[in-house]
Amino acid sequence: MAIGELYDLVIDCPDPRELAGFYRQVVGGEIVDADAEWATLVISDGRRVSFQRVEGYAPPRWPGQEHPQQMHLDVIVTDLDESEPLVLALGATLLEGSSKSIGFRIYADPAGHPFCLVTN
């Protein structure tokens, strides 16, 4: 049994609205929750891609890893307090900046990639 469901793919960028507009043209959908820091593109079947502003953004360079790919998964769960020990038992690490009072918590997977558990 899975702990949660994939909710969102979040991509770092310098201008969330601009990048969301680019992908809207590529794959369709509707841009929601757009501001200078964050934009979400919701595609007709409900899949989501969000864009997060990063100060001093340096784009990835393929195929090298000097500037690696910069994105993370958001996994929607019913209850953060119940889900947290399950992901920790799988090898995740709770990262700095997480709070029990907001609707998400930030972790690193066993290879160090960030991901979030989120609630609606």
Asked if residue 64 belongs to a domain, the reply is no
Asked if residue 40 belongs to a domain, the reply is yes
Residue 93, pLDDT > 70, answer yes
Q: How far apart are CA 81 and CA 103, in angstroms?
A: 11
Q: Which residues pair with 39 in a beta bridge?
A: 51
Query: Minimal CA–CA distance to 57: which of 17, 18, 14?
Result: 14
pLDDT at res. 18: 93
Residue 24, pLDDT > 70, answer yes
Question: Over the chain, what is the mean pLDDT?
Answer: 90
Q: How far apart are CA 74 and CA 44, in angstroms?
A: 19
Which of 16-30, 44-58, 92-106 is predicted least confidently? 92-106
CA-atom Rg of the chain in angstroms: 15
Q: In the chain, what percentage of residues exceed pLDDT 90?
A: 65
Structural domain tally of the chain? 1
**CATH of residue 102:** 3.10.180.10
Q: What is the pLDDT of residues 53-80, one digit of tens each?
A: 999 998 887 677 777 777 888 999 999 9
Please state whether the predicted TM-score (pTM) of the whole model is above 0.85.
Answer: no
Q: How far apart are CA 33 and CA 29, in angstroms?
A: 13
Domain span at 97:
5-55+71-118
